[in-house]
Amino acid sequence: MAVNLLELVISELAGDKSEKIAAYLGESGSRVAVSISPAAASVMAGLMSKASSLDGASEIFNRMNAGGYGGDFLKRFGSTLAGSSSTDELVRTGSSLLSFLFGSRQGKLEHVVSGATGLAKGSATALLSILAPLVMGVLGKQAADENLDSTGVMNLLNSQKNPVQQAAPAALSGVLGLVSLSQLGGAPPSVPTGIPGNILSFVKGLWPFLLGIAIIGLLLKTCNNMPQKETPPPAATVAPDTTAAVPDTTAAEPDTAAVAPDSLGAFSEYALPNGVKLNIPEFGIERKLIAFIEDRNQAVDKETWFSFDRLVFDTGKATLKPESQEQINNINEILKAFPNVSLKFGGYTDNVGDPQANLKLSQARAETVMAEIVKLGIDKARLASEGYGDQHPVADNATEEGRQKNRRVDCRVTKK
């Protein structure tokens, strides 16, 4: 990649510019400094998503030229951070740009960036609004320097996939309607015009319909062969985090099955819709659960489960250790923030020991988690629990590490 636009954006904030932004936001300089990269990457992701079509790229190109975004804008940018009316005007301009890029999803963008950076939601909103014109200025200067047209701008944005994917919050994919940020940066295919193009367009429009018929047929066949009792998904579709402890028959093995802290990512403050703030890890169950609940494209099903990652039980018992309370409290707060949501908890063990004893233990642990949340004020009617014993392992029971992963408690959304 010849140029890294994100690096250029960050370099424009050298000196005391980030401190001026922090003063305007009322946030600490260190907090703002670490928030600039994910926030700027989020704006760039919006540009890349917009430029995934030739029409979108043309809109960006026209707005860039009409707004005077380029080298001259960058020279003036520092003076707009002086505060009062100049910075307020910059924020208004940036808010308009964000609306152009994200539309009705702008609020969700601000929520995601706030959760990923730990900034207050208002500060995250203002930071995004300050950075949006700066990103456009850097893009405009690069376009002018390389004499790019709208297609060239589209190709330049598409080339930014790796740095943007690495810096942007993972939850941003839901804002953009993507499965993951790895889908960013794909240029639209060129379709032939005339009769051949029309035929190709017809075929491309028809294949999803044919595929849908095939999938429905497969699902009907599968459903006819499935037992009536509800069961969780196979290992490949269950998040491979772990929580439950080992039964008495394997007491010699480690009792703690919580996920290693390093694999959970950095902890940061996340503001729920009701204003309650949680300190939760980037890859923990809390963020996964919230993202699923808030994503309107994610329908409730019986296959999508999330594994608790910081629950610890006494060995061979259904008694939670004190260090588990933080995650229990977090799930309670999430349920309070989303009053229409209902959850089901599933308990699991490894395959060591008596299967019936394992089944009983797994049921007791799932019930314990549910009972703890009910104690905190959640209506029991919104919750359910079931033990599955050593069924549906997510790892190889032949290894100690695999057995640890299989001893867990999961949950799934049954209503939202």
pLDDT tens digits, one per residue of 119-132:
888 888 999 999 99
Q: Please state which of the ranges 80-89, 239-248, 364-373 shows the lowest mean pLDDT.
A: 239-248
Q: How far apart are CA 208 and CA 124, in angstroms?
A: 39
- Whether 186 is covered by a domain: the verdict is no
* Position 244 pLDDT exceeds 60: no
State the pLDDT at residue 232. Answer: 52
Let me know whether 222 and 160 are in one domain. no
Q: What share of the chain is helix, strand, coil (3-state, %, to 5)?
A: 60, 10, 35
Question: Do 152 and 54 contact (CB within 8 A), yes or no?
Answer: no
CA distances from 362 to 87, 202, 286, 329, 368 (A): 57, 52, 22, 21, 10
pTM equals 0.48
Let me know whether 133 and 70 are in one domain. yes
Let me know whether 265 and 339 are in one domain. yes
Let me know whether 137 and 208 are in one domain. no
Let me know whether 245 and 221 are in one domain. no
Let me know whether 256 and 222 are in one domain. no
| Tens-digit pLDDT profile for residues 55-76 | 888 999 998 898 899 889 999 9
Q: How far apart are CA 409 and CA 348, in angstroms?
A: 6
State the pLDDT at residue 237. Answer: 40
Question: pLDDT-based confidence at 234, cuts 50/70/90?
Answer: very low
Question: Do 412 and 306 contact (CB within 8 A), yes or no?
Answer: yes
Residue whose C-alpha is closest to residue 112's, from 182, 161, 170: 170
Let me know whether 161 and 52 are in one domain. yes
- Whether 184 is covered by a domain: the verdict is no
What is the span of the domain harbouring residue 35?
A: 5-177
Q: How far apart are CA 232 and CA 217, in angstroms?
A: 22
* CATH number of domain containing 254: 3.30.1330.60
- Whether 185 is covered by a domain: the verdict is no
Let me know whether 267 and 405 are in one domain. yes
Let me know whether 405 and 382 are in one domain. yes
* Position 381 pLDDT exceeds 70: yes
- Whether 187 is covered by a domain: the verdict is no
- Number of domains forming the structure of the chain: 3
Let me know whether 251 and 220 are in one domain. no
Q: How far apart are CA 330 and CA 318, in angstroms?
A: 20
* Top mean-pLDDT range of 36-50, 167-181, 229-243: 36-50
> How does DSSP classify residue 281?
E
Let me know whether 255 and 285 are in one domain. yes
Let me know whether 256 and 287 are in one domain. yes
Q: How far apart are CA 17 and CA 38, in angstroms?
A: 17
State the pLDDT at residue 53. Answer: 86
Q: Are strands 306-307 and 408-415 parallel, antiparallel or unpaired?
A: antiparallel
